[in-house]
Each structure stands twice: as structure tokens, then as C-alpha cells.
Structure 1
Amino acid sequence: MKKVLLIEDDSELAEQIAAGLGDHGFVVDWASNGLEGLDKARSLRPDAMIVDRLLPGVDGLGVIESLRRDQLQTPVLVLSGLGGVEDRVHGLRSGGDDYLTKPFALIELVARIEALLRRGADMRQTILQVGALELDLIERTAKRSDREVTLLPREFRLLEYMMRRPEQLLTREMLLKNVWNYSFVPATNLVDVHMGRLRHKVDGPGETPMIYNIRGAGFILRETASRPDVLAMRGLSHRR
């Protein structure tokens, strides 16, 4: 069972969160202030943490910064009544992995914790493999079979995001938010331009296409090619 450390000074809210997480199979430890939370984080080594931003004594961001200085990389969800863009950016830059503004739906909090735990497991991988495509996250290199694929930094990040989600539809909105870190969806062809360049590099002449354009929806990275008739039925295209 996954352990979650909750650092929250509002005892009523803490009780609700603990009950909700408990219903989904988590074991929850609670700390009511920053100093107690720091001690428990260091001794218990939880799988994930939920940290209120405004805490008595050491505030939530101070807690996170202290843990990061100690090289503790436990995934952290920041809770806050401050929902401005600058507030969210500050929370993330202080070492938080996600930011949830109060008030919130409990089911969303649970879903975000589950996502952080999946992401934490994924991030321990140093080499991603999808079919003949390989991405080395340490050396920052890519290759398809024996062919080296030279990528610019943004292309590398885009391909990494796709390789962590093979066979999944990735919308332009998802890519803008997670690869470009946009908090809104601008009217731009930025994704299409970069995706076009990436497809030319990944799908070389004579090679079976791996990156497909789903008309009007987004893109998908496939491990194996589908038959042309199946592609047509699904609205898929590997046009460059």
C-alpha cells in the first residue's frame, strides 16, 4: 500500500483528505505544521506528499525546498488558496510537482496523487523503448534501430512525452500544456510545426511510419504499423 504524508494545518480538511485517500487504498500520515511535516518526511520516506502552502512555522514551500536540498525527490502535490499564475509557478519552481487550488474536488486530488506516483515510477527509467525507437534520457540521444536520430531539445522533450504514452491519442492541448508548459491553449500551429519536423526525423525514407496524425484530434505514436484500411477507418494519416 502506498504511503502518503499530508501536511495540513486545517484538521477538518486533513480528516476529509485522509478518509478519501484511505478509501482508495492509501495509508495516510498527517502532520499539522511544517516542522512536524519535515521530521515525518525524513523519517517515514512516504511515496508521495500533499503539502499545504500556508502553514504555521515553516510554510509549505519552505518544507519542499528543505527536502529538495536534502536530495529527497518524493513527489509533492501543493495545496493552496492562492490560484494565480505567479503563485502556481512559484510553487512548482520551489520543488512542487503539481499544484491544486482550494477549494477542490476530493476525487481530483486522488487522481493527481495517482498520476504523481505513476510519473515517479516512469521517471526512474533512463532508457525508453517503443518498438525500434530508443531514447536515452541520460545521454540525451535517440536512435531508431541502428540509425541515430538527431533531435533539438524541444523535439527530444516532445518525443519523450510521446514515448511515455505509446498508442495513446495526444491532443494539441495536452502537448502545449505538458511539453511547452502553457497554462492556456493559444491559437497557434506550434505543435504541428514541431511535430512535422519530428516525424521527418523519426520516420525515415523507406521506414514504417510510427508517428501518425489523427485528423482534427491530435497525434499518436504507434509501436507497429496498422493496415491502410484500418488507418483510414480510424482517420489516421502518416502524411508528412
Structure 2
Amino acid sequence: MSESDPIIKVENMTARYGDRLVLDSLTFNVERGEIFVILGGSGCGKSTLLKHMIGLYPPASGDIKIGGSSVVNSHGAERDEVIRRFGVMYQSGALFGSMNLLENVCLPLEEFTDLKEDARELIARMKLSLVGLADYTHHMPAEISGGMMKRAAIARAMALEPQILFLDEPSAGLDPITADELDELIIDLSRTLNITFVIVTHELPSIYKIADRVIMLDAKTKKIIADGKPAELRDTSDNPWVRNFFNRKGQAAGTDE
């Protein structure tokens, strides 16, 4: 696979929950090193798309390729190799409350590598340092703030040196200052480590600040109704729903299911 090829390809992907159609024949690419944002109004399927992209759910039809390999059609060792190309930060952070931050970040290294304990801890400390938590390695999740929990979750998602990080509503529940600091961290990691980010969010300040490109999903048509840079879509889109979203008018300000 060439370095100039998209790192993610979603090809004619359709998602259903039983008989209910959620996403209809989506096709789009994510370029290497891009901060790519998935957005849309309430019930449009943002989180559903993310869950399909990381392999939690199989699509009803279509394919999802990461680094040229199918998430949908790979099995066994090949699928494990595909899955290791990305890390995931869930909305709540999903840290294990009975483990301190160092142990949380070490967990993927224990599960998926043969590294010795001192090597695992060294890597975990490096990841925590990258997100500004070098002094909090032995703190428990209950002892830190919500913003710090998100940072620790990003550190854990980076433990296996992934090419891609998927973030689900990273700014949810954070005050504006903390959310802005998290945005700065995402930009810094993208630029310094050339990590590709795929982010689900509806927070306009974050979208304008971090997004290289966005796609907008529509709950009515079940399709992508916009693809481009946020400011350009705000100013030039011929779709009034898209313009309303970026100007926060009507139902477009809603959140996902």
C-alpha cells in the first residue's frame, strides 16, 4: 500500500439494526495524518458508523478497509493485525477503576505483546507523559478530573503505537477550558506523531479548531450530505440543513443516539 493511499476506505457500507436502516451505502476515505470528524444531528448514526469502522459490528453490506486490509472480511491473525493498527478512546474514557493510570495504560501491552514488565511500564510512562500525565501514574481514575481521564484514555489507546486513533465525543462533559486543552493535545499528537484521528463530536468550537475535514450524516436520508472543511461548508454549502448546523440553528444542534 502506497503512503499516498487513504489510510481508511469505507466502501458502500450499509448498517442496520434488525430491519431498521441506519446508514445507507456510505462511501468515503480518510487520508493519512488527517483529523477527520464525523458529525450530524440527533439519531443520524455517528456512533453507529464509528462502531462499524472499529469492527464492533459487521455492516449489512459493503466494506471497511484500514491500511488496505478489510476489517469486515479478515479473520484470525489477519484481523488481529488490522485491529492493532488503531486505538480507541470511548466517550466515558472506560478506564478500569481498580487500576491506577500506569496499570491501565500497561493493559494493552500485557494482552498483545511479550514485553517484560519493566519495558511495558517504560512505554506506559512515555505515553502518559505525551498526554501531560507524567506525575499521575499511580493515581486511580476516581482521583483525577474528567479531562485527565480522557487524556489517560488517549494514552492507553496509543500504547500499541497505532496509526489511527478513534475518539468518541472526546469533549463531552468537559468545561470549555478543559475541552480546548484537549483539542490542543489532539492537534499536537497529530502533528508530532503523524497519527490519523477519526473523531465523533457535535461540539462546534472543537470542530472548527481541529478538523481538517468533516463528513455530515443525515438522519432522514441515512447518507452523507456534506464532505469538506468546516468553514467552507458553513459559508458555501447549498444545503440549508448543513448551513444551519454550523450556525447552530434548529434541530441541527442535537447530539447522537
TM over 0.5: no
- TM-score by length of structure 1 reads 0.25
Larger Rg: 1
Higher relative contact order (CA 8 A, sep 6+): 2
